[in-house]
Amino acid sequence: MSDLVVVGFDDEHTAFEMRAALAKLQKEYLIDMEDVVVVTKDEKGKVKLHQAVNLTAAGAMGGTFWGSLIGLIFLNPLLGAAVGAGAGAISGKLSDIGISDTFMKELGETLTEGTSALFVLVRKATPDKVLEELKGFKGKVLKTSLTADKEEKLRAVLEKS
C-alpha cells in the first residue's frame, strides 16, 4: 500500500527542487514513488499541476506505434500512425494515474498566491536515509497518510530546517 505525503512551500521553485532530489533518491533505490506532482498557485490565483510524466505525449507515442502496426496490416501505415497518435494522445490526456487530479486541484486552491506544494505517492522507502537527504528543504507538512510517529519525524525534518 502506498503512502501520500503533501508538503507546502512558501515559493514556487522549492517544490521542483525537492522533486528533483526525490528523483535522485529513486535512482539510488532509496525511495520508490508511484507518483510525484508539483502544484503551484501563481500571483493571479491560478492553480497548475506539473506532472512528472506527460501522459498525452506518452499516449501519442504508444498510439503511433500501434497505429503504424495496424496500418501495416491494412497496407496504410501512415494513416494508421496518424489515427493511432490521435487516439493515444486523447487517451493519455484523459488518463489519471496515481494521485487524483481533482484532489490536487482542490488542495491547491487552499494555497496562497506564489506558493507551491509537492504531492508524493510513496510505495516504499528507506526513511532514515531519505529524511537525511531532505534536511535542507524547509516546508510544511500539509497532509499525509503516514502513521503518527512517521509523520512527526517528517515534520521534524522539514519544519525545523
Note the pLDDT of residue 30.
94
Closest Cα to residue 16, out of 33, 37, 2, 1? 37
Show the domains of the chain with their CATH numbers: 3-53+99-159 (3.40.1520), 55-94 (no CATH)
Instruction: Identify the pLDDT of residue 51.
Output: 86
Phi, psi (deg, nearest 5) at residue 6: -125, 125
Q: What pLDDT, on a 0 to 100 scale, did the predictor assign at position 99?
A: 86
Q: Give the C-alpha separation, 146 to 161, whole Å.
A: 20
Our CA dihedral for 67, 70, 74, 76, rounded to 10 degrees, sits at: 30
pLDDT tens per residue across span 117-137: 999 999 999 989 999 999 989
The predicted structure's pLDDT at residue 111:
93
pLDDT in tens, 69-86: 566 566 666 655 565 556
Question: Phi/psi of residue 109, each to 5°?
Answer: -65, -25
**Residue 56 grid coordinates:** 498525452
Grid coordinates of 22? 526525490
For 98, other C-beta atoms within 10 Å of its C-beta total 19
* Residue-level pLDDT at 67: 59
What is the mean pLDDT of each successive set of 10 residues along the chain, which is 161 residues long?
91 94 94 93 91 54 58 61 57 60 91 94 92 91 91 88 54
